[in-house]
Structure 1
Amino acid sequence: MIKKIFILFIIIIFSNLHAYDNYVNKIFNAIEDNDINYIKYVLENDIQSLKSRLPKDYENNLEGATPLLYAIYNDKKDIIKLFIDNIDTSYLKDRDDKNYNSIMYAAAFSDIDTLKLIAEKSPSLVNSETEFRVNILHIASSHNNYEVIEYICTNFNIDINSRDIDGWTALYHAANSQSIESYRLLIKLGANSQITDNNGMYPSTRLRELVMMKYNELSDIDRELFEAIRDNDIKKLKKSIENGANINAEDGYGLSALHFAIRNKNIKAVDVLLDCDNINLEATLPNGYYTALDNFSREAVYIGGATPLLYAIFKSNGDSRIVNRLIKKNANINTYDEEGWNSFLYAAAFGNVRIMNSLVDKNENLINSKTKKNVTALHMAVVYDNIKVISYLVKRLHVDINAKDNDGWTALYYAAANNKAEAYNLLIELGADREIANNEGLKPDDIFFNN
């Protein structure tokens, strides 16, 4: 009798555990499936289930994650907003097994919108740290979440050089995870590259060490290819290609061989690569890629997703030879980078009239190019002080001199806001309207004479 009761007791326990597992799985499955109706039901009838946790050894290091954390990890925007609008702030503070809470998950896996929602609901979470003093800036840097990094650094009172228990700054976290784009952005935002970890290693040393490890993963013949391009050794370059080098290989920074040749302004190497039938003209720079405008500039420019043609325009500095070779080779002139800039917009900012002529000859519709935020070629030319291009766009191509972007900024307003006196006076001369206000009601003269 005792044996039967014991067995029955075990069966009941396992049945209850199985029912609980199904119950827990249901809410996480609903998040995966973006089942808004089920989430609404939970919020109205069973809010305690939001305390459910993912089990130990769950994939992707998500052990102990709550439904809210899981929604942030999967970037389920509507569900995240539902949760945040309808739950107590205590749920925002719940942590997983690695001691990450909701704002830390947003820093790692989501975007500015989610971060703002959480920060507005519970402002104190901005200062969250793990037991190892890892904060949200460290986490965003480790996960290469560069948009969140910029938002944190410009909107929250967080020390960009704060160190965790190992002495790692955000810059060191970016270096250690090979988040090259975030590393460059942090430098641009003022991170101190001279702060070492507790073992005396600089972030730059750690990054170089890891990049070289990645570079060393290339085959010997592919490394010879990059070395030949670097050294402008055309004979060695041709020989490496003959011996089977991958002409579309990428270096430790994610640059294709063609990008690498363009960066080094090695025209002969570009010619050799373009002569190869299987050269990839549409290879792209890594998303989030920042680089200096030129060797003498400290200004970092975002060109993530740029193809060799876009990169060649960016690096042209008045020399259109490589650009013309790529156009002649039928590189796609209509392609965009990650920010929605196409070849015409690149030419307006970084190129010259000759490049723009070549592009327009191939496709007149490029004249009306705009970014995702309705920034025009004329706006670009003003921001980058490309005076000859400003005249060309207005006089020759007859672009709308008073076109507005999403913020209501005209080219004249851009000139005023960026203190571009020569561009400002030229635009006035060309007929720009000084009375057009932006979305905040400010006119160009309101800020130009106050700069």
Structure 2
Amino acid sequence: MKRSMYQRQANEPCEEIMASSTLIKAHKRPRVSIDLNAHPTETLKSLYFSSVKEQSTTTRPPQQHNDSCLDHYTLAVVNAIRSNDIETLRQMLEQGHSFQACNNQGEYLIHLACRRSNLATIQFLLDEAHVNPNVCDDLGRTILHDLCWRPQVATPLLEFLLPHLQPQLLIRKDVRGHAPFDYSRSHDWPQWNAFLTQSSTAQLICQPKQPKQQQQQQ
């Protein structure tokens, strides 16, 4: 996926995440007939986000990324994430390496992991390195855009990520007007829809999200 356009501060979360109060409560979800072959974004909107207004996809003025964020985006850590080398990643963490790092296109390590890595690597980044998953690259793409771009349906990864994410990221568009599931393959939509319509998934989407600082203290 190509990366360019406007830049964002190193630890700045996505600016267009809306308050979770716009989300339909899990027990108040409408009883609607779901076509498993439908676009997953439409499924999400009908079940959880019927009151959410269409989001703007306008670009923003360029911003410089934090030098520390750029400095920690090294070839060594990129290779370790791509190869799911948890032992090396833990050694880097012990040595003080920050994993809240991005390249000069605003793509964070968590973006890379959601596109290329396994569940264990993503769990390490969130549970041990405590990275912020609610981030965007310079094209406004969230980690869910990368997750949906994977060649296979990755419901176990999404199931793990949902408690850590602002739910509106599921339908948030990038600056080109594409929501995450626009990057998924149409023949995979039945699998995605089957997962999104499960009652357990509804609880994950609708449960209140704690600030990252509180999560780290628990």
TM-score (norm 1): 0.26
Higher relative contact order (CA 8 A, sep 6+): 2
TM-score, normalised with respect to structure 2? 0.49
